[in-house]
Amino acid sequence: MQAASATVSRRLLSRLRDVMAGGGSAQDRLNKVVKLIAMDMVAEVCSCYVMRAGEVLELFATEGLHKSAVHKTRLRVGEGIVGHIAGSARPLALSDAQAHPAFAYRPETGEDIYRSMVGVPIIRGGRVMGVLAVQNRTQRHYTEEEIETLETVAMVLAELVTSGELVVAEELKPVDGLGLLPLRLEGVRLTGGIGMGLAVPHEPRVSVQRLVAENPEEELARFRDAIASMHSRLDELFSAPELDGGEHKDVLEAYRMIAEDAGWIARISEAIRTGLTAEAAVQKVNEDMRVRMSHVSDPYLRERLHDLQDLTNRLLRHLAGGSGTAAGGELPEDFILVCRSMGPTELLDYDRRKLRGVVMEEGSPTMHLTIVARALDIPVIGRVKDALARIEAYDPVILDGEHGQVFIRPSDDIQEAFANAVRVREERQAAYAALRDVPAVTRDGVAVELLLNAGLLVDLQHLEETGADGIGLYRTEIPFMARPHLPDVEAQTLLYSRVLEHAGGRPVVFRSLDVGGDKVLPYWRSSEEDNPALGWRSIRITLDCPAVLRQQLRALLRASVDRELKIMFPMIADVSELDRARALLDMEIEHERRLGRALPSAVRVGTMLEVPGLAFQLREVLRRVDFVSVGSNDLTQFLFACDRGNPRIAERYDPLSPGMLRFLRQVRIKCDEAGVEISVCGEMAGKPLEALALLGLGFRRLSMVAPAVGPVKTMIRSVDLGPVRDYLERLIDKGETDLRTPLRMFALDHDIAL
């Protein structure tokens, strides 16, 4: 059966090749193709619909339907069966098409006499470019092989549709009516920093010209050679010294696993045996996977899809005889890459000495590219709508990673302002670096502990650079998100040991797994929730899956042998949760003891305070913990009932409001009275004015992202804290609603460096 279908498709493919190579206009070739397929599939009708601007599918060629309907019949995506196929990007075979709920009768086509129908989407680069459909008068069952044949033809047609001969290429892109005027686009900051340079569109797609091969054995040999040279190039790329160690290594290893996946290689080989060239086979397997996975919302699988696309492009370039690199041709001295999305290894192909940033249409903070870019300190802005259509090659671009904005063809003054900002930033950076070894002490002698928030091994290098006192918050979830499975005890032990090793003797507060909400683990699919921020997340998950928490605690104990272990539980809303988490920790300590294993010299347990309700149980909480860390991000979200991820209301409530500050003051006083260490580890702690307020309220331990250490230390060293405390006390209880403005004015009046 397999062999028979392979011959059918090989015969069809070689006829197709003759048609495509046979000259004539694109329309002529399309007409011939539909005729050929109708004949080959013994169908009365074969039609090709092409996507036009505005998401409309236009009948472009038909064998069997009324010719007068060509270029007249138009269906919106989702309308009729053809629109349905385009909308779902999946093939659909119906033995009784008219009974399908999406059926829409178009009298001008004369299709009412045809009963059965099969259609496949014409896809290029994950976008539906049209639909190819076949109809029969009788009720007919279309086989899997027939659907596959149609998909292969659709792939050939995708080349024709995107060639610009049928529909001008411009029409296939979203249009920007603004011509060459300066433009500002907004996106999401994925990694921070400012980059300036000329735009270089990342064009990883290699156009596959030759589709049908005469000699499958030769193609298989070419394919094997390309795979071998690709593997050795990947070895080379991954061994770059700056990529040594860190979670990005996991990302690259996961990538390598796909590259070496026997199933993937076998599927391509099989497609070659049906008569496709190696290139066409690679392309086909990729499109098949994309279509199959296009509706998957699981972030891990979506990541795999990016990896697969990256790999496909790479393999196609190897087949074309190059070195497989995405970075073809001369590159400007300073350049910004613009892309729809990008795999992690494609980024490595570009010269890092010239690459100033990446602008992406897609992207998320946890995607593989982001993790690698962060390790390499390259600014990235994601989710910039229509970036590729709006940014032309060699357009001057400024990428402002701090504010998630991109300036295209900026005016001279904007360019100058940013060039200044970069210079000032560099100067400031140098000034902050000079502060590395001086203590964070106020002018009136109050010492403040400055700690770092970290989540990747690369973040630990900032300990040295900033001179921070330790890690106040190590978010353990990022490595869990970069892997295909839950890391086992051994892998976690290794990771935590390396964190501690990098930290030297400095303290590290490990936070137990804090996932859920927007941080989804691939292997823990939870059901959809109406309010994920208030849902099954964080400690609620790990208490429901105690084995996971126990494994993590075991790994932390093992990594901390003979030194102090500081462990903190997130999202505690009720003392009983703390007790249950503590009980699991005690079980693990006992377990290690029974095994005769060495233990940490001390185990100190803390809780995050990010659910306001916990503040009303402080008496009980403080008897149970060694330290408390205020997670002001979630605390603000819950105190004001304001979704922290919703940009529309992000600026609506100010943490520097009397309500929030009174809350924090109360918590700080209770902790001090109980002799329990307290710190703040939300974003608030890293902003100089907010940090000033926290110091005024009596906080002496602040944990923040590395770039915030310099500015906060500078502020601390410029301040006389006594007057700030008195002023803030009066201000909070004065009945004012806006505290930010008066506090800022006070700082200005008193030469406090903000």
- From candidates 681, 702, 715, 719, binder to ligand PEP by CB under 6 A: 681
Residue whose C-alpha is closest to residue 557's, from 523, 524, 595, 607: 595
Binding range to ligand PEP, per CB under 6 A, among 39-47, 184-192, 388-396, 631-639? 631-639
Q: Single out the segment in contact with ligand PEP by CB under 6 A; choices: 143-151, 290-298, 302-310, 628-636.
A: 628-636
Q: How far is CA 429 from CA 177, 269, 424, 575, in A?
A: 40, 54, 8, 43
Is residue 184 within 8 Å of residue 408, measured between CB atoms? yes
Q: What order of strands is seen across the sheet that includes strand 56-63? A: 74-76, 56-63, 45-52, 127-136, 116-124, 92-94
User: 405 contacts which partner out of ligand PEP, Mg ion, none, CB within 5 to 8 A by kind?
Assistant: none
3-class state of residue 354 by DSSP: coil
Cβ atoms of 567 and 540 within 8 Å: the answer is no
Q: Using CA atoms, how far apart are residues 96 and 357, in angstroms rounded to an integer?
A: 53
| Closest distance of CB 687 from ligand PEP, Å | 13
Q: Which does 193 bind (CB under 5 to 8 A by kind): Mg ion, ligand PEP, none?
A: none
Residue choice 682, 686, 688, 711 for contact with ligand PEP (CB under 6 A): 682
Of Mg ion, ligand PEP, none, which one sits near residue 349, judging by CB under 5 to 8 A according to partner kind?
none
What lies within 8 Å, CB to CB, of 681 at 6+ separation is 451, 453, 472, 473, 608, 629, 630, 631, 632, 702, 703, 704
Residue 336 and residue 384: Cα distance in Å, rounded? 14
Among 550, 633, 669, 742, binds ligand PEP (CB under 6 A): 633
Q: Which CB, 442 or 636, lies closer to ligand PEP?
A: 636
CA distance 705 to 460: 11
48 in Cβ contact with 161 (< 8 Å): no
Q: Which amino acid is at 81?
A: I
> Per-residue string for binding with Mg ion, 628-657, x by CB under 5 A?
---x--x-----------------------
- Closest contact distance (angstroms) between CB of 298 and ligand PEP is 21
Candidates 631, 686, 688, 710: give the one binding ligand PEP (CB under 6 A): 631
Residue 690 binds to ligand PEP (criterion: CB under 6 A):
no
Choose between 472 and 631: whose C-beta lies nearer to Mg ion.
Answer: 631
Indicate whether 711 belongs to the interface with ligand PEP (CB under 6 A).
no
Query: Which residues, 35 to 74, sit near Mg ion by CB under 5 A?
Result: none
Query: Which pair of tokens denotes residue 304?
Result: 């795999």
Q: Which of 84, 318, 368, 462 is catalytic?
A: 368
The site string for ligand PEP over 579-618 (x = CB under 6 A, - otherwise) reads -------------------------------x--------
C-alpha closest to that of 719 among 691, 678, 682, 742: 691
Number of residues that bind ligand PEP (CB under 6 A): 10
Nearer residue to ligand PEP within complex by CB, 475 or 558:
475
- How many CA atoms lie within 13 Å of 128's alpha carbon, on the beta-carbon side? 28
DSSP at 527 = P
CB of 510 to ligand PEP, least distance (A): 13
**Residue 632 binding target from Mg ion, ligand PEP, none, CB below 5 to 8 Å by type:** ligand PEP
**If binding is defined by CB under 6 A, does position 639 make contact with ligand PEP?**
no
Contact (CB, 8 A) for 650 and 674: no
Say if CB 701 and CB 680 are below 8 A apart. yes
Out of ligand PEP, Mg ion, none, which partner does residue 227 contact, by CB within 5 to 8 A per kind?
Answer: none
CA distance 134 to 146: 10
516 belongs to the binding site for ligand PEP (CB under 6 A): no
Site of tokens 């990896």: 307
Q: Tell me whether residue 492 or residue 538 sits nearer to ligand PEP (CB atom).
A: 538
Q: Give min distance, CB of 535 to Mg ion, in A.
A: 14
Question: Which value, to the nearest 10 degrees, does the dihedral of the CA atoms of residues 273, 276, 278, 281 take?
Answer: -90
Q: Can you give the length of the chain in residues?
A: 754
- Judge contact between 196 and 425, C-beta under 8 A: no
> Which residue, 208 or 605, has its beta carbon nearer to ligand PEP?
605
SS3 587: helix
DSSP letter string, 392-446: -TT-EEEEETTTTEEEES--HHHHHHHHHHHHHHHHHHHHHHHTTTS--B-TT--
Task: Select the residue whose beta carbon is closest to Mg ion and give its number.
Answer: 634
| Residue whose CB is less far from ligand PEP, 335 or 627 | 627
Two tokens, residue 240: 């770059």
- Structure token digits, residue 43: 């169908």
- Say whether residue 459 binds ligand PEP (CB under 6 A): no
Site residues for Mg ion, window 551-610 (CB under 5 A)? 610
Q: Is the Cβ–Cβ distance between 317 and 324 less than 8 Å?
A: yes
Is 368 tagged catalytic?
A: yes
Task: Tell me how crowded residue 155 is: count the other CB atoms within 10 A of its CB.
Answer: 22
Cβ proximity to Mg ion, 63 vs 610, nearer residue: 610
Q: How far is the CB of 632 from ligand PEP (least distance, A)?
A: 5
Among 468, 634, 701, 747, binds ligand PEP (CB under 6 A): 634
DSSP tag of 561: B
250 binds Mg ion (CB under 5 A): no
End-to-end CA distance of the chain: 75
Rg (CA), the chain: 30
Q: Rounded to 10 degrees, what is the CA torsion of 358, 364, 366, 372?
A: -10
The nearest distance, CB 454 to ligand PEP, in angstroms, is: 11
Nearer to Mg ion, 93 or 609 (CB): 609
CB of 660 to Mg ion, least distance (A): 15
Q: Is 632 in the site for ligand PEP (CB under 6 A)?
A: yes
Would you count residue 111 as binding ligand PEP (CB under 6 A)?
Answer: no
Smallest separation (angstroms) from ligand PEP to the CB of 494 = 23
- To the query of whether residue 591 is one of the catalytic residues in this protein, the response is no
Q: Please state the φ and ψ torsions of residue 510, each to the nearest 5 degrees.
A: -90, 130
Q: Can you tell me the distance from the alpha carbon of 394 to that of 723, in angstroms, rounded to the nearest whole number?
A: 54
Residue 298 CA from chain centroid, whole number: 12
Task: Look at residue 475 and give the partner it binds from ligand PEP, Mg ion, none, a contact being a CB closer than 5 to 8 Å depending on partner kind.
Answer: ligand PEP
Complex with ligand PEP: residue 475 or 713, whichever CB lies closer: 475
Minimum CB distance to ligand PEP smaller for 202 or for 462? 462
Q: To the nearest whole angstrom, how small is the minimum distance from the Cβ of residue 570 to ligand PEP?
A: 7
CA dist., res. 710 & res. 726, Å (int): 26
Q: What is residue 350's three-state secondary structure? A: coil
Minimum distance of Mg ion from residue 567's CB (angstroms) = 16
Residues that bind ligand PEP (CB under 6 A): 473, 475, 514, 610, 631-634, 681-682
Residues that bind Mg ion (CB under 5 A): 610, 631, 634
Residues with a known catalytic role: 368, 681
